[in-house]
A and B are shown apart, each in its own frame.
Chain A
Amino acid sequence: MLERIKITNFRRFRELEVPRTTRINVITGSNNAGKTSLLEAIFLLSSGGNPIGVNIGRDLRGLAEDTQKPAAVREILWKPMFSALDTGTPIEIAAHHTDSGSISVKIALEEAAKTWRKEDAFADPYLVCTFFRDNGQIATSVYRLTDVGIEFMSGQAEIPFTAKILLPYLDTTGSEAAGLLGALRQRKQGDLVLEALRVIEPRLRSIEDNSVSGAPMIWGDIGLSELVPLPVMGGGIVRIASLALAMATVAGGVLLVDEIENGVHHSVLSNVWRVIDDTSRKLGIQVFATTHSYECLQAAASAIEDDDLSIHRLEVNEDESRCVTLDRSQIDGIIEYGMEVR
């Protein structure tokens, strides 16, 4: 489990500390306080500086189409990672992980003159990501820009912990979802997803992955004469399927969910949190989820009965960020007295 997260010079954060965490962590704050950036930072740390982490900004910010050319990568993807565009100061994301110890990733934008291969003479800077464990340098990944995009030049794979990030507008559907379900069913864990889906569709008797339509997809039996494709059952079903599939694939790791209440009716929010609570406990998953919704916070507090729930409110004051963390008793008090906490 991640504890004591510290972020320096990344996006909104000149410096931010999240001094304590629990198994389930709900992140709130006003617009532009950095909720999504906190998720991104944790994902970057989980990747150890490897490509999947460095490129997550594209998906998180909906920039995949806009960052194909080198100049776009540099100006839209890389430079804005640095707080106030201060590319002269490295980004550092550090945490204590209960299994991996003290881990950190340092990301720097280095001038092309300091090349990694003497024969290279590119004008664009290099993105250099260094992963540390217990203050010792473990691995370095280097990225340079080419005419066709980002080249991962060198580096060793070092994944300190597994993590999966769920975006608010990009749920898992179609062949990816079918593939994930197929893998779970092979391990006899398919019921995990079915039980989650039954929270908002009690008619659901079973689910299966098949390609009868020519494309792999998850289909559900809701008592009709034929199976129904999951995506046509509604956005809420797709969202919960994405959550359940993500959790099933990140056992022992970290699940990051942006705008967790998206597509979920308020009347089933508590049930959704119960599923997250039960599954994360069974599979040893730590959850960080952002929300704008007070109902979602109330639902989490009512569904999760033990102390394994925190709320972290990100605040910005004159460009200084801070994290205000509420423990269980403070969460109960805030909700009992009807106080604003977002």
Chain B
Amino acid sequence: MEDKPVEINSPIQLLVEGNDGRNFFEAFRRHLAISECDMQIHNYGGIRELSGFLSAFLRASGFRDVVRIGIVRDAEPSADRAFQSVQSALGNVDLPVPARIGILSAEGNPYTSVLILPGQGSGMLETVLNQSFAGTPVDVCIDGFFECIESTNGGEIHRPDKARANAYLSSTPEPQVSVGVAAKKGYWNLDHETFRPIRDFMQGLCTV
């Protein structure tokens, strides 16, 4: 059976990158217990799809009642360039543009805010997730595992942030799940201090 089209029916909209991003932020919202915050979370696809997504999103039914939009993007090589890319995408569709990461735009109708993960520098959602178990015995085991691979002939750890996150999940009851689904299953310690910027960002969207 085909899915019903998604209606925009909440005043606060959070746009995130990929299915993992959506699953993670849905889990995080539940964890924050901000049930009184009427928020919808959408996957806008990859970083190159944000502009096209926003152009269509503005025309979806229900958009006229949206008051705040949050956009989350991975920094990948550069947090600054990632932020500028999102600013550009917002400007291209005549939406208000925030001046700084994590701060609401000065103008509303609707207000916008952008979060770049992991914060400064380069990285992604997995970079933040990995910080939540840094220094734990499992993390030490993963270091050993990576050293073992790199010591083999031709061995190399590709995309170390993703590799570390998935290696961590191999220690959970369901090692086959993705990082986003793992968040829904409670496999990440969402109370860890590393998630404070995400907590502040989401609460900032919800605060009147």
Residues of A whose CB lies within 8 Å of any CB of B are 294, 313, 315, 317, 324, 326, 329-334, 336-342
Q: Which of A294, A324, A336, A338 contacts B59 (CB 8 A)?
A: A324
Residues of B within 8 A of A326 (CB): 56, 59
Q: Which of B2-10, B140-148, B176-184 lies at the interface? A: B2-10
Assess whether B204 is interfacial by the CB under 8 Å rule: no
Interface residue from A324, A331, A338 paired with B3 (Cβ < 8 Å): A338
Of B3, B7, B61, most buried by chain A (CB within 10 Å of CB) is B61
Q: Which residue of B lies closest to A324 (CB)?
A: B59
| Residue among A315, A331, A334 with the highest chain B CB neighbour number at 10 A | A334
How far is A333 from B5 in the complex, measured between Cα atoms in Å?
A: 12
Residue of chain A at shortest CB distance from B61: A340
C-alpha spacing A176/B45, complex, angstroms? 52
* Given A324-B59, A334-B59, CB of A340 within 8 Å of CB of B8: yes
Kindly identify, within residues 46 to 78 of chain B, every residue whose CB is under 8 Å from any CB belonging to chain A: 52-53, 55-57, 59-62, 64
A313, A339, A342: which contacts B8 (Cβ < 8 A)?
A: A339
12 contacts across the A-B interface (CB closer than 8 A): A315-B61, A324-B59, A331-B56, A333-B56, A334-B59, A337-B42, A337-B44, A337-B45, A338-B5, A340-B60, A340-B62, A342-B5
Give the secondary structure class of B's interface.
loop
Q: Given A338-B5, A339-B8, does the pair A329, B59 have CB atoms closer than 8 Å?
A: no
Binary A-proximity of B16-43 (CB < 8 A = 1, otherwise 0): 0000000000000000000000000010
Please give the distance in Å from A237's CB to the nearest CB on chain B. Answer: 26
Bound together, the chains give a CA A337 to CA B59 distance in angstroms of: 12
At the interface, is chain A mostly helix, strand, loop or mixed? Answer: mixed
A324 to B3 CA separation, bound complex (whole angstroms) = 24
| Contact B5–A340 (Cβ < 8 Å) | yes
Complex contacts, B62 vs chain A, CB 8 Å: 340
Please, how many angstroms separate the alpha-carbon atoms of A338 and B53 in the complex? 11
Are B64 and A339 in contact, CB atoms less than 8 angstroms apart? no
A-B contacts besides A337-B57, A342-B5, 8 pairs, CB < 8 Å:
A324-B59, A326-B59, A331-B56, A333-B53, A333-B55, A337-B6, A339-B57, A340-B61
Chain B contact residue count (CB 8 A cutoff): 18
Please state if A341 and B64 are interface contacts (CB–CB under 8 Å): no
A294 — which chain B residues lie within 8 A by C-beta? Answer: 5
Considering the chains assembled together, what is the distance between the CA atoms of A333 and B42 in angstroms?
A: 14
Q: What is the CA–CA distance of A166 and B59 in the complex, to the nearest angstrom?
A: 28
For B5, the chain A residues whose CB sits under 8 A away are 294, 338-342
Asked if A334 contacts B7 (CB within 8 A), the reply is no
Instruction: Name the residue among A326, A340, A341, A342 with the largest chain B CB count within 10 angstroms.
Output: A340
Whole-angstrom CA separation of A338 from B44 in the bound complex: 11
Q: How far is the CA of A333 from the CA of B62 in the complex (A)?
A: 16
* CA–CA, A339 and B8, complex, Å: 8
B60 contacts which chain A residues (CB < 8 A)?
Answer: 334, 339-341
Report Cα–Cα, A341/B62, bound state, in Å. 9
Q: Judging by beta carbons under 8 Å apart, are B52 and A313 in contact?
A: no
CA distance A247 to B45 in the complex (A): 41
Q: Distance in Å from the Cβ of B181 to the closest Cβ of chain A? A: 20
Asked whether B55 lies within 8 Å of A330 as measured between CB atoms, the reply is: yes
Contacts of A324 in B (CB 8 A): 59
How distant is the Cα of A158 from the Cα of B106 in the complex, in angstroms? 54
Closest to A315 in B: B64
Interfacial chain B residues near A330, Cβ < 8 Å: 55-56, 59
Of A294, A317, A337, chain B has the most CB atoms within 10 Å of the CB of A337
| Complex Cα gap A336–B61 (Å) | 15
A326 to B93, CA, bound (A): 13
Pairwise interchain contact A329-B55, C-beta atoms closer than 8 A: yes
Residues of chain B within 8 A of A313, CB atoms compared? 59, 61
Tell whether, in the assembled complex, residue B6 and residue A338 are in contact, meaning their CB atoms are under 8 Å apart.
Answer: yes
B53 touches A341 (CB 8 A): no
Cα of A240 to Cα of B176 in the assembled complex, Å: 51
Contact among A329, A332, A342 with B61 in the assembled complex (CB-CB below 8 Å): A342
* A341 x B61 contact (CB < 8 A): yes
In the bound complex, what is the Cα–Cα distance between A85 and B121 (angstroms)? 63
Which residue on chain A has the smallest CB distance to residue B5? A340
A299 shortest CB reach to chain B, Å: 13
Compute how far the CA of A294 lies from the CA of B57 in the bound complex, rounded to whole angstroms.
16
Name the residue on B nearest A339 (C-beta). B60
User: Which listed residue (B45, B52, B56) contacts A339, Cβ 8 A?
Assistant: B56
Question: Which chain B positions have C-beta within 8 A of A329?
Answer: 52, 55
Q: Which of A315, A331, A339, A342 contacts B6 (CB 8 A)?
A: A339
Smallest Cβ distance from A17 to chain B, in angstroms? 16
- Please give the distance in Å from A32's CB to the nearest CB on chain B: 15
Residue in chain A with minimal CB distance to B52? A333
**A342–B146 alpha-carbon span in the complex (Å):** 52
